[in-house]
Structure 1
């Protein structure tokens, strides 16, 4: 079944403001999820333990989000936007409820998989609904509304997360999704009406399965390599062969599938290829900042969760401000120059983080966060405009979804890759600078993130933990800096055009 694309736009009785409000509420929940959980993670780790599994709380959620974005996009073409959106939101809320009841880190990771599986429908289907009910002249204005939602939610997330953790319980950061999500569901259920005509579609189930297998095994390699297994070992070799085989067969399947989940013809346009690759690298950078900066501010700088949250808020302030100015800049100086300014800002922010020291204070952390936010805002907005101008209407949805997919993959791979680097470097430092009888492991860092538990540790153990964490995070931000330089160099190859 395929919806008549013009029906919603022509329906005069359609309550578009109410539909838009429901969509904005759903986008708010989707956007706030990353930052509010990042801020609460030190408290979660302190209660549940399992510091070595830290990155899987993000990786599990992002993995399911990444591999389902394109699948949900296809299903919304087949069954309509409304049922797919409602299915995704209900599953997301169910996962949120379960996350709040988690008693171990393993349980939390499993529930985050469920939450991410539902969240994968929110952004792509909500964006498609906006395209359905608004015409070309209105979409630019509505896009501004959606951008403001991301900005507001990103600003509120760290602060709200810090306040909830300090005043109440970290479990509320998941349960707060429920009442807001129900309001969004009610809005779409009662006010979005679709006319669907029947038409047979071929869903690329095989491609979806191969992609899921490839990314999942690759993530396990990145997270557990050097920690549970040595990099040169049979488990890593078997996983690597599995991942490479899955990717190989995925590419082959997409080339012959009647309706491929990832049509590679759109990648033949150089500008889109560059935009998608840079979205991958900036996705890794973004998760590196949001996942680990609060840990540094709390564990090493010994600041409160609220202060740690506000260092991320700086990125969230820079992003929407830059997005708002990106449109004007593109009209004045062109896409390439606007995106290059964003690339420079990413490099500046990364350099600040690389040279950040424990005594630097949270202001320096916030400054690096702000510059990265500005870079994200300039590049991401430029990419949306570029991609939508480079393809026809018939391919605009899948082209936009592909860019969103690459950003999600960047988040997923980044959480696993940078988490693996952190764990490997940290473990090596602890092994070198502590005695076996002291029994200092990665999980001992759980106590570093709580002021009372930290005070009970011997001074030399605290010093070892803080130094090890500082050096490990320094390595993480060196990788972030390298990625920012790669992003800038790639943008140089985009043709100059307003």
Structure 2
């Protein structure tokens, strides 16, 4: 395939449209559904099962990431891409036509499974389809495909639920998917097929299920900490951590938690960056509302600024020749600085305006770092291991996001019960998250590793 200068050059145009469109729809459904969920649950009289609509999605998503890694390495990413599309469409139909909460939750499980299969398969397909020099630009577009739904998705979903029907949040994506079918097929057709696949070994799926259950237990326990430290929530958190420890040792590359040079450091850096950023994001609108009296619309404006900065940072990394590990170091430093500065928004009188430059800095850091980590992971991975390593990277992000957001929620719940003030809860959380960014900043040099010969040869 001709090594053209742009992912939208004739040789790659429709494949890029398929990739970006596929990710955009998955991102919209993943991010925006929370806005419509309360209306859907009330309509289906299923408030007691509200949490399962999220938990079911998460567990299925984690299991599918592991399965997609296995499939992609053994057969190439085609099965993951097509299977992910099928499960995602089936889930949209099931939730959008649900008359019972059981059907609705089943649809959410199918959506989570489809999204997990597809996202890992798409990352592997990028490594198969695009040469080295285009991958940074492709990941810049992929980053924008996640950021745009974060900017406008909740507003669209809320408007549909309020003025139309919550069912449109699910069923409304089907016509768009049909329009993108041809472009998505170009991605499937152009991705690698393994002519003589090794025997199937699905033992790692057990660890994927254990990781999903472990995350659910940790989240369930942390949610109850606001009612006091009681035996059952503590047992839930400890049991979940034990399951995660047991499973991640087999799902992550050896040395991941020690940031061992190369792929383990990339997997861990991705999780730490995402956990720090999204942990802060989970409490920022609430802080502006509780401390400064902002309306819901005004509380969300800094997130819009951060999303634009993220896209800008990602675009810059796609056009620069600076070594990727240095971009990760800068990105980690920006996120750490943002977390260290965030308490100013909490404690300084009239300091709400500081949220805008602080969140812009953190968003730019994410744009520089996350796309660079994705590029490095593909560069450092032998072709036969891209599925496994992409799966590990996505799993790292899912685990740290869940933990940092859950810890933030537990601290806020503790402030409601009077254990500490709201300002103190947010400050403690931000300082903990700053540590994650600093670990990435100081450990980024471990991403500077030699590429395997097979990866270099396959990129030419």
Q: Same fold (TM over 0.5)?
A: yes
1:241 Cα offset (Å): 4.7
In 2, distance between residues paired with 1:76 and 1:344?
34
- CA 1:134–1:225: 2 relative to 1, 3 Å: closer
SS at match of 2:189: coil
**Does the CA-based 8 Å contact 1:68-1:120 persist in structure 2?**
yes
- Structure 1 equivalent of residue 439 of structure 2: 489
1:147 is aligned to 2:143: yes
- Structure 2 equivalent of residue 354 of structure 1: 343
SS at match of 1:88: helix
**Does the CA-based 8 Å contact 1:307-1:362 persist in structure 2?**
no
1:137 Cα offset (Å): 4.2
Aligned Cα root-mean-square deviation (Å) = 4.3
- Structure 1 equivalent of residue 63 of structure 2: 67
1:238 Cα offset (Å): 7.1
313-322 or 41-50, which deviates more: 41-50
**Aligned pair partner of 1:237 in 224, 235, 238:** 235
- Structure 2 equivalent of residue 375 of structure 1: 365
**Does the CA-based 8 Å contact 2:127-2:378 persist in structure 1?**
no
**Aligned pair partner of 1:85 in 81, 86, 105:** 81
In 1, distance between residues paired with 2:41 and 2:284?
15
In 1, distance between residues paired with 2:214 and 2:229?
14
1:182 is aligned to 2:178: yes
1:380 Cα offset (Å): 1.0
TM-score, structure 2 as length reference = 0.76
285-294 or 23-32, which deviates more: 285-294
1:89 Cα offset (Å): 1.9
1:209 Cα offset (Å): 1.8
1:407 is aligned to 2:397: yes
In 1, distance between residues paired with 2:200 and 2:335?
41
1:343 Cα offset (Å): 2.3
SS at match of 1:411: helix
**Does the CA-based 8 Å contact 1:277-1:406 persist in structure 2?**
yes
369-378 or 471-480, which deviates more: 471-480
364-373 or 66-75, which deviates more: 364-373
1:342 is aligned to 2:331: yes
Q: Deviations over 1:267-323 (max 9, x none)?
A: 884244333323222222343345444455567766555444443222211111011
SS at match of 2:395: helix
* Aligned pairs for 1:388-403 within 5 A: 388-403=378-393
- CA 1:373–1:79: 2 relative to 1, 3 Å: same
228-237 or 395-404, which deviates more: 228-237
**Does the CA-based 8 Å contact 1:158-1:309 persist in structure 2?**
no
- Structure 2 equivalent of residue 10 of structure 1: none
- CA 1:104–1:476: 2 relative to 1, 3 Å: farther
In 2, distance between residues paired with 1:298 and 1:171?
29
SS at match of 1:26: helix
In 2, distance between residues paired with 1:202 and 1:337?
39
Q: Deviations over 1:452-473 (max 9, x none)?
A: xxxxxxxxxxxxxxxx9xx548
- Structure 2 equivalent of residue 441 of structure 1: none
**Aligned pair partner of 2:26 in 21, 25, 30:** 30
1:56 Cα offset (Å): 6.3
TM-score, structure 1 as length reference = 0.71
**Does the CA-based 8 Å contact 1:215-1:243 persist in structure 2?**
no
- CA 1:160–1:22: 2 relative to 1, 3 Å: same
The unaligned stretches of length 5 or more in structure 1 are: 1-5, 7-13, 255-260, 433-467
- Structure 1 equivalent of residue 7 of structure 2: none
Between structure 1 and structure 2, the one with the greater Rg is 1
- Structure 2 equivalent of residue 323 of structure 1: 314
- CA 1:353–1:141: 2 relative to 1, 3 Å: closer
**Does the CA-based 8 Å contact 2:274-2:401 persist in structure 1?**
yes
**Does the CA-based 8 Å contact 2:314-2:367 persist in structure 1?**
yes
- CA 1:325–1:42: 2 relative to 1, 3 Å: farther
- CA 1:298–1:219: 2 relative to 1, 3 Å: same
1:278 is aligned to 2:272: no
In 2, distance between residues paired with 1:274 and 1:73?
19
- Structure 2 equivalent of residue 437 of structure 1: none
**Does the CA-based 8 Å contact 2:80-2:117 persist in structure 1?**
yes
- Structure 1 equivalent of residue 213 of structure 2: 216
- Structure 2 equivalent of residue 462 of structure 1: none
- Structure 2 equivalent of residue 460 of structure 1: none
**Aligned pair partner of 1:248 in 246, 249, 253:** 246
**Does the CA-based 8 Å contact 2:217-2:240 persist in structure 1?**
no
SS at match of 2:443: coil
In 1, distance between residues paired with 2:411 and 2:352?
23
Q: Deviations over 1:64-106 (max 9, x none)?
A: 3233213112223445533432221222233334444668988
1:384 is aligned to 2:374: yes
* Aligned pairs for 1:63-142 within 5 A: 63-100=59-96, 111-142=107-138
1:313 is aligned to 2:313: no
SS at match of 1:492: helix
Aligned residue-pair number: 436
